[in-house]
Structure 1
Amino acid sequence: MSIMLGLFTTLAVLPFLFFSTDAVGSVGTLAISLGTSTVCGISAYTFPRIIYCTNISESVPTSPYQIYPNVSFDYLSASTAFLCGLKSRKRVIFCWNGNPVNTKQVYRGPWVLSDISVGETHVSAIDHSTNEIRWWSNAGLFPSSVLGNYSSLTSGKNFTCAISSNGKVTCWGPLSSAMQYSFSKYSMTTIVAGDSHMCGLDTSGFVICKGSNSLGQSYSPPGLPYDYTRFALGSSHTCAIKQPKATAVCWGGSNGAHLYTPLNDTSFEFLVAAGNITCGLASAEASILCWGSDWRTVSVRTLSLPKILPGICVAEGSDECKCGFFPNSGNLCAGVGVICQQCDSLWIQQLLHPELFPLPSESKRWKVEDLVGLVFLFVGACGITFSLSIILFRKEDLRK
């Protein structure tokens, strides 16, 4: 029994060696505003990084149009009524209602912002210059700012939530109390909000969904740790990327919590959702594919957008990329920055499926060294645990 207890303890600690340092959060280069029938994305391979939008209400795809063609953007987010973009250098926020003529400058100033998140009546962002979350809202339902070290900022209809440095979920706004209480028992690494529900991964890698569950949108699918990552939540459905092949899996919507896979053989880099629509960036073609939340009549549509960035471009010398760089990220960012590789399940998947998850060339050397080191660390810990267990077992026999 001592041996089994020692091995169990070592295995229980293993996920924290791989996943305790990084939250996943939302990608932020594609956004849907269903109320304005608009999908927008930040272009790849170009600088400035231009926002391209297209109307999705038409049966025939419309030609994409640009938002501020001479301005470079880093982040995108949207609500039902409007979309917002954070300009590169992170000191200006622009918003629009789907019409490129109706743009408004929400903020221009000295604060260095990131993780812009748009709700029904508000815009929020993390201010790195003062270590605060800041809000812009006409309704007066949110504080102007809150001090603290937060990550995974996300917004629903009447709430904004984020993860504090100790893994606890903190929320603000009219629905903040109920949402925060529903996650009070969990330590989270990532959260993503829909209209009135929220999903994410706890520190053990399991899916936690809370909030409204009228149509099964807050169902938490069973599986192994880190089976489901990179969530996208609509008004009454949830989608996620399922490992190891990065396929899209959804549940909820008009037919309840039934799990369905809209495209069985398509791998995605990320997903976004709004209302009853989900869109994703396909890994192979780099195209944007969209579908509805009714699993009985899934119809997939390809949007007429140019190549969209698979992640946020950060400075090449940035210390944000703890899991290496996305393949070809230098070219994707047009030589002005790189894209961080997502950390969710990367290490475990490289151990189990190296043929499906090759190491990025930019960071291959140090990743191999670290990976080998972690494997030897794990083996050494098992050996020490085994030896201690044998010693204890023998002492128990001598006492008898």
Structure 2
Amino acid sequence: MTIIPSSVVAVIITTLIAFITSATLIHGLGSGSTVAVSYGSNTICGIVAEEPTQRIVCYRGGRIISVLPNISFSSISGGRNSFCGLTSDGRLLLCWDTTSSNTTLHFRRVYYNDTVLLENLAVDGDEVCATVNGVNVTGVVKCWRGDRSSQNLPSEVESFVSISSGLGFSCGIRENTRRVRCWGNNAIVTEIETQFGNMPMWSIIAGGSHVCGLNTSGSLLCEGSNSSGQLNVPTDSSMEFSKVALGANHTCAIWKSNGTVVCWGGGGQFLVNATANISFESIESGFNYTCGLTKGNFSIICWGPGWPNNQSYSDLPLPKILPGPCVQPSSCHV
């Protein structure tokens, strides 16, 4: 029997931890989050930390909005006038209308299955997509709601490792080739696919009419419309970002070095950095503003030209929010 020295074992374990951490970070860029923005009503939602149930709570117009049912969720994603959540077991997908003036949001069930589970939740303006995993099925895209008559939806033989939705379109990364594949009624989809070409990608996230993501070399690439400078990644910094969020025509990213955020595009309206000294765990964008989950106290703050307090930022009066998706109770505390 061969005995492996303890020093070698330590190196192996350290390497595995580093690999898992980096893979999770990259995968999370285009996956469901614990924070969601419903941009049509400026409703901001999050999955609550430090409670027995990882429930959802929302904020809109200066008020806390309760969300039913009070059960545990692993991820949420926002669209124009709604947001959706995937329960921790992956069996149930629920959605909520955010245009109601009520202080409590009541759900609509979109999907339930005991054996075919959902992952990679993505919400368009009115459409909801996710990947399904079951017997002989892995990574197949399924969509609900919306007008899908001419969307060139992926077939049931195509598998994806991640998907993300923009305005009137969605894109995903094919499992077998790591190439970008897009569908939807937005004419930009063909341009985005062509620009990414054969570039293998680790992750992508979609905005109004552009898509950004990490390629397999770790560089941040942005393709699609550049009408407001949203594709202009800061020079010589494409490998320095950990998280990215896209709005209608702006892009924001978290610096790996210190967790602060830099934004570009938006016709220059995001050049004033209202959050220069704040570090973030994650960020999500609305139509023309961005919200972030801060490090340390796990609070949500929002800023940008489309946010009511557009000269600075607003610290939302929400409880602590989970810094990342969790599926086990032991991993759901901060």
Q: Distance in 1 between matches of 2:200 and 2:237?
A: 18
| SS of the residue 2:28 aligns to | coil
Correspondences of 1:1-400 after superposition (within 5 Å):
23-25=27-29, 26=31, 28-55=33-60, 58=61, 61-62=62-63, 64-98=64-98, 99=100, 100-110=104-114, 111-129=116-134, 130-131=137-138, 132-141=140-149, 142=151, 143=153, 146-165=156-175, 166-175=177-186, 176-224=189-237, 226-255=239-268, 261-293=273-305, 298-315=311-328, 330=330, 333-334=332-333
Encode CA deviations 1:163-183: one digit per residue, 9 max, x unaligned. Answer: 123321111222332221121
Question: Runs of 4+ in structure 1 displaced over 4 angstroms?
Answer: 17-22
Give the Å deviation of 1:301.
Answer: 0.6
Give the Å deviation of 1:225.
Answer: 5.4
Q: Distance in 2 between matches of 1:224 and 1:236?
A: 20
User: Does the 8 Å CA contact 1:33/1:79 hold for their aligned counterparts?
Assistant: yes
Q: Distance in 2 between matches of 1:51 and 1:20?
A: 27
- Give the residue type in structure 2 aligned to 1:241: I
Give the Å deviation of 1:274.
Answer: 1.2
Give the Å deviation of 1:315.
Answer: 4.0
User: Does the 8 Å CA contact 1:134/1:145 hold for their aligned counterparts?
Assistant: no
User: Does the 8 Å CA contact 1:249/1:260 hold for their aligned counterparts?
Assistant: no
Instruction: Show the counterpart of 2:7.
Output: none
Q: Distance in 2 between matches of 1:292 and 1:231?
A: 16
Return 5+ residue gaps in structure 1 as ranges. 1-16, 317-329, 340-400
| SS of the residue 1:240 aligns to | strand
* Percent of aligned positions that are identical: 35
Q: Distance in 2 between matches of 1:229 and 1:30?
A: 16
| SS of the residue 1:147 aligns to | coil
User: Does the 8 Å CA contact 1:41/1:53 hold for their aligned counterparts?
Assistant: yes
Q: Distance in 2 between matches of 1:261 and 1:226?
A: 21
Q: Distance in 2 between matches of 1:226 and 1:144?
A: 30
- Give the residue type in structure 2 aligned to 1:151: V
User: Does the 8 Å CA contact 1:77/1:117 hold for their aligned counterparts?
Assistant: yes
Give the Å deviation of 1:78.
Answer: 0.9
Cα RMSD over matched residues? 2.5
Q: TM (normalized to structure 1)?
A: 0.69
- Give the residue type in structure 2 aligned to 1:81: N
- Give the residue type in structure 1 aligned to 2:58: C
- Give the residue type in structure 2 aligned to 1:164: R
Give the Å deviation of 1:311.
Answer: 0.3
Give the Å deviation of 1:27.
Answer: 5.2
Encode CA deviations 1:157-200: one digit per residue, 9 max, x unaligned. Answer: 12111112332111122233222112114221111111111111
- Give the residue type in structure 2 aligned to 1:68: L
Q: TM (normalized to structure 2)?
A: 0.81
- Give the residue type in structure 2 aligned to 1:119: D
Q: Distance in 1 between matches of 2:155 and 2:90?
A: 17
CA distance 1:34–1:224, change in 2 (3 Å): closer
Q: Distance in 2 between matches of 1:229 and 1:31?
A: 18
| SS of the residue 2:324 aligns to | coil
User: Does the 8 Å CA contact 2:294/2:301 hold for their aligned counterparts?
Assistant: yes
User: Does the 8 Å CA contact 1:153/1:161 hold for their aligned counterparts?
Assistant: yes
User: Does the 8 Å CA contact 1:43/1:307 hold for their aligned counterparts?
Assistant: yes
Return 5+ residue gaps in structure 2 as ranges. 1-17
Q: Distance in 1 between matches of 2:74 and 2:142?
A: 18
CA distance 1:293–1:210, change in 2 (3 Å): farther
- Give the residue type in structure 2 aligned to 1:103: F
Q: Distance in 1 between matches of 2:238 and 2:246?
A: 20
Q: Distance in 2 between matches of 1:188 and 1:65?
A: 37
Which protein has the larger Cα radius of gyration, Structure 1 or Structure 2? 1
Give the Å deviation of 1:140.
Answer: 2.3
The structure that is helix-richer by fraction is 1
Q: Distance in 2 between matches of 1:20 and 1:281?
A: 21
Encode CA deviations 1:240-266: one digit per residue, 9 max, x unaligned. Answer: 00120011110111326x755432221
Task: Give aligned pairs, total.
Answer: 298
